[in-house]
Structure 1
Amino acid sequence: MNSFKEYIAYYNNERIISKLKMSPVKYRTHFL
């Protein structure tokens, strides 16, 4: 169950990143 939630969060983050056309690193530094 826990890993399922983690997968959903990961999937949502990947969708957002691809939508913004950013690399994960840029995405992280941009929102921190």
Structure 2
Amino acid sequence: GVLGGSFLVIMGIYELLVKRISVLGNLLGVKK
């Protein structure tokens, strides 16, 4: 249903954010 679709979308966005944050953290760690 709509709730299930929204949940999947939110989880997908959350995963992208986590990956992006981890990548930024690694870049900052390398720079420092």
- TM range, smaller chain: 0.5 to 0.7
Structure 1 ranges of 4+ moved more than 4 A:
none
Gaps of 5+ in 2: 1-7
The structure with more radius of gyration: 2
CA RMSD of aligned residues (A): 1.5
Whose helix fraction is larger, Structure 1's or Structure 2's? 2
Gaps of 5+ in 1: 23-32
Q: Which has the higher contact order (CA 8 A, sep 6+)?
A: 1
Of all paired residues, the percent bearing the same amino acid is 9
TM-score (structure 2 length as normaliser)? 0.65
